[in-house]
Amino acid sequence: MSDTALGPAPSLPPPSDGGGARRAEGVGRSKALTATTLLAPATIFVAAGLLAPLAILFRYSLNEFVARTKTMVEALTIQNYITFFTDPYYTAALGTTIRVAVTVTVACLIVGFPLAYVVARTQSRFKHLLIIAIVLPLFVGNSVRAAGWMVVFGNKGFFNTTMMSLGLIDRPIEIMFTEKAVIIGIIAVNLPFMVLSLQSVIESIDRAVEEAAFSLGAPPLTMFRRVLWPLALPGVLAGTILTFILAMNAYATPFLLGGPLFKMMAPVIYNEFTQKTNWPFGAAIAFILMAVTLSLTLAANVLLHRRAAR
């Protein structure tokens, strides 16, 4: 996965230019024309559909909002950004988001590694079905998966009924509309991404190096720590980055499992935009979310690389 579909920046294969020797000038020009006709439509479409909207959104984030009339006034101020960082309501939402995202990422790594390893090493002819079982939930949609957890966590849900009939608890435990429910839900959403990132890297590690460690007398845990983990680090990095970004931006899961009082950044942005119609502030929060996510990802990247180098 890290080199095809979902990993971070893909590494481009060098272009295979056919000949190799420099062709005549005229051929070069017609080639340039071909290249432009091939690439231009998609590039223009994405630039117009993504870059232009982001630029306008950033411009909006510098505007002012008059609460009394609920209108936006053209301005050039960073007041929206200051408001965000001085209002405890919003900093708390940012704190919750980071806390949830970190917890989810660590949990995904712990739960996902054994599964990724087994999938990578299995010789079974049902391996492709195993992969489909991991990929399928990705496509089913976060709301549907949140619905599944609602069935489990409700007061008369599976978890509470089972625990009570076993006599382990006297009255239902409140799980729905808590941070616990949100964390459990997002772990399930992000786990496939982590597993697929790890699996593709583990698959490329030669089985013989593990055998060598074993035959030299290393117990499994030592083999894992000294051989498998260092070699799998690129996959670990790709998986944690992806999981972390997705958790930071989660919308449906906190919205449905956290309830109206639980605040994470993505639902807050949606709220500012549609409920309060405060576009400048909503735009500012959107850019803060992107900036925080990006800088934390970069920091983790540097940290892990330094660790790996040591």
Partner 1 sequence: MNVAIIKRRAGRWALNGAAAVGLLYILTPLIFVTWLAFFYQEIPSFPPEGYSLRWFAAILDQPKFVNGFSLSFQVGVIATLIGLALAVPAALCITRFQFTFRAPLASLLLMPLIVPGVVLGTAMYVFHVTLENGLDVDVLGTFYALVAGHVVIVIPWIVRLVTASLSGVDRTTEEAAQNLGANAWVTFWRITLPAIRPGIVAGALFGFVTSFGNLEMSLFLVGPGRTTLPIVILQYLEWKIDPTIAAVSVVQILLICIAMLITDRYVRLARVV
Name the nearest CA neighbour of 195 among 138, 114, 141. Answer: 114
- SS3 state at 73: strand
What is the DSSP secondary structure assignment for residue 259, as one 8-state letter? -
Residues paired with 200 in a beta bridge:
none
* Residue 244 engages partner 1 in binding (rule: CB under 8 A): no
Please identify which residue in 23, 27, 52, 91 interacts with partner 1, judged by CB under 8 A: 52
Stretch that binds partner 1, among 5-13, 74-82, 93-101, 225-233 (CB under 8 A): 5-13
Please identify which residue in 220, 222, 225, 299 interacts with partner 1, judged by CB under 8 A: 220
Site string for partner 1, 88-107 (x = CB under 8 A): --------------------
* Residue 303 engages partner 1 in binding (rule: CB under 8 A): no
* Residue 295 engages partner 1 in binding (rule: CB under 8 A): no
Please identify which residue in 135, 205, 300, 304 interacts with partner 1, judged by CB under 8 A: 135
Q: Is the CB of 51 or the CB of 302 nearer to partner 1?
A: 51
* Residue 26 engages partner 1 in binding (rule: CB under 8 A): no
Q: Give the nearest distance from C-beta 163 to partner 1 in angstroms.
A: 11
* Residue 62 engages partner 1 in binding (rule: CB under 8 A): no
| Cβ–Cβ under 8 Å, residues 189 and 250 | yes
Binding residues with partner 1: total (CB under 8 A): 102
Measured CA distances, 212 to 120, 139, 296 (Å): 18, 40, 37
Please identify which residue in 100, 186, 195, 238 interacts with partner 1, judged by CB under 8 A: 195
Cα–Cα distance for residue pair 194/111, rounded to 1 Å: 9
* Residue 186 engages partner 1 in binding (rule: CB under 8 A): no
145: alpha, beta or left, given left = phi > 0 and alpha = psi -120 to 50? alpha
* Residue 38 engages partner 1 in binding (rule: CB under 8 A): yes
Measured CA distances, 247 to 54, 103, 182, 253, 266 (Å): 21, 10, 10, 10, 10
Tokens 């957890």 appear where?
149
178: alpha, beta or left, given left = phi > 0 and alpha = psi -120 to 50? beta
Name the nearest CA neighbour of 182 among 275, 111, 93, 271. Answer: 93
Q: Is the CB of 3 or the CB of 87 nearer to partner 1?
A: 3
Q: Is the CB of 68 or the CB of 156 nearer to partner 1?
A: 156
Q: Give the nearest distance from C-beta 16 to partner 1 in angstroms.
A: 5
Site string for partner 1, 145-184 (x = CB under 8 A): xxxxxxxx-x-xxx--xx----------------------
* Residue 278 engages partner 1 in binding (rule: CB under 8 A): no
Q: Is the CB of 37 or the CB of 69 nearer to partner 1?
A: 37
Cα–Cα distance for residue pair 271/308, rounded to 1 Å: 41
259: alpha, beta or left, given left = phi > 0 and alpha = psi -120 to 50? left
Stretch that binds partner 1, among 77-85, 95-103, 112-120, 228-236 (CB under 8 A): 112-120
